[in-house]
Structure 1
Amino acid sequence: MMHEVYNTLPDDRPITAIGVVSDPEKCPPGYIVVSRTHDQDSDADLWKEGFFGRKTRYICLSKTEGIGGTHLGGNGPPPPPAADLIVQSVTVINDKEMPPDGYSLIPRTIDS
């Protein structure tokens, strides 16, 4: 899987947009889904330890979306130009936790 990611994003451009999808087949155009882990080549489902039902969550990332103020839907204003927006760090938290200072919360999946 990581080989596929590297082939799709072969350069050193920063990640400019990140989102979460419930269905890896519905990753938006311009994004690539991270469906396998790099270290163990296992399913990268963020909710694979879930107890109720079979909900899944996968990270999608882009090195082109978000540039020039474009964004994926939502009710908020478009983001500032890409010079101000690159993904520097990502942390995964429990759905009941608050994000650490300086982090933005992704409140919902981009495919629902």
Structure 2
Amino acid sequence: MLNRSQEMEEQCLPIVSLVIVADKSRCPANFVPITSTHDDNSDADLWKDGFGFGIFTRSVRYLAVNRRVADTNGPLEVLTDLAVISDKEAVPSSFICLDFTVDTKERALKKKFLCARFSPRNEALDAVTNIIILGKTKRPPRGYSLAGEVDGMSICFKVSTIPENYGRLTHSQSHELDRLGNCNLSSASPAVTGLYPTVNRHSTSDLDKVGQNVIQSTNQHNINAVFRGIDRVPFELNPLFAFVLSEKNVVSFVNFFN
């Protein structure tokens, strides 16, 4: 359990993963569920169906965030934007849709979709560092932006500047990853870490070498393609015609046929 100071320090770090769960006790490792509203400390359930008696369990939905950087050499992505849209709207460009619960694979929200945009850490200066849910207040607190409303609840997020040394690859680290991960492009396979797949990184020099090999292979193929089966057989004139075409033997050639 985090104390107040640890919690405040944690909230200064960028969010790297975001999920919706149907059971707050079944969050993936390192995910922290948002169970209480920021304004009145009420239940932050995003699926208020009103049922739940006897043997029936009331359906609930909780947002859960992860700020822990995975211990991997793969590229790090951070959350940079949030939006709530109608289930009839198209997902905004460069956003992904959290349409199912991660634990039960059920629909995440009623009539709404929560969409998130992630960006590579090395390309982002700012990131979402905190998400809160408001139960009664419609206006987000100072420093927060409104993503949208879900079942009368307002989802708000805070964007902060990423610390300079947070999760950034140095030039030497990036070069080492390229060297280790892309020595053999033909046999390399994409690595999968956590909930999000990663893509192999290729240095410019490696891609140039591949391009040159492809061009050389293509040129060689084209050269070979213009030859036919007899094209490489040495040409040799019939000895009879060689004799006939000689100026000294023109008369003999005529007499030969007479």
Higher helix share: 2
CA distance in 2, matches of 1:41, 1:59: 15
* Matched residue, 1:99: 91
- How is 1:1-112 mapped onto 2 (pairs within 5 angstroms)? 7-8=6-7, 10-11=9-10, 12-48=12-48, 50=49, 54-65=58-69, 68=72, 81-82=75-76, 85-112=77-104
Structure 2, unaligned stretches of length 5 or more? Answer: 53-57, 105-258
Looking at CA atoms only, which structure, 1 or 2, has the larger radius of gyration?
A: 2
CA distance in 2, matches of 1:55, 1:94: 20
TM-score, normalised via structure 2 length: 0.32
CA distance in 1, matches of 2:71, 2:91: 24
CA distance in 1, matches of 2:23, 2:70: 21
1:5 Cα deviation from its structure 2 partner: 8.4
1:67 Cα deviation from its structure 2 partner: 6.3
TM-score, normalised via structure 1 length: 0.66
Structure 1, unaligned stretches of length 5 or more? Answer: 70-79
Q: How many residues align?
A: 97
1:103 Cα deviation from its structure 2 partner: 1.9
Higher strand share: 2
**Quick one: structure 1 residues 87 and 13, their matched pair in 2 at CA, closer, same or farther if it must change by over 3 Å?**
same
**Quick one: structure 1 residues 5 and 95, their matched pair in 2 at CA, closer, same or farther if it must change by over 3 Å?**
farther
**Quick one: structure 1 residues 5 and 58, their matched pair in 2 at CA, closer, same or farther if it must change by over 3 Å?**
farther
**Quick one: structure 1 residues 32 and 100, their matched pair in 2 at CA, closer, same or farther if it must change by over 3 Å?**
same
Matched letter for residue 14 of structure 2: P
1:31 Cα deviation from its structure 2 partner: 0.9
Deviations 1:3-59 (A, max 9, x none): 9787446242210001010011111121100011112212111112x4777321111
Deviations 1:60-104 (A, max 9, x none): 1011155647xxxxxxxxxx611xx11112223344443333321
Q: Secondary structure at the match of 2:85?
A: coil
State the structure with bigger RCO (CA 8 A, min sep 6), 1 or 2.
1
Percent identical residues: 31
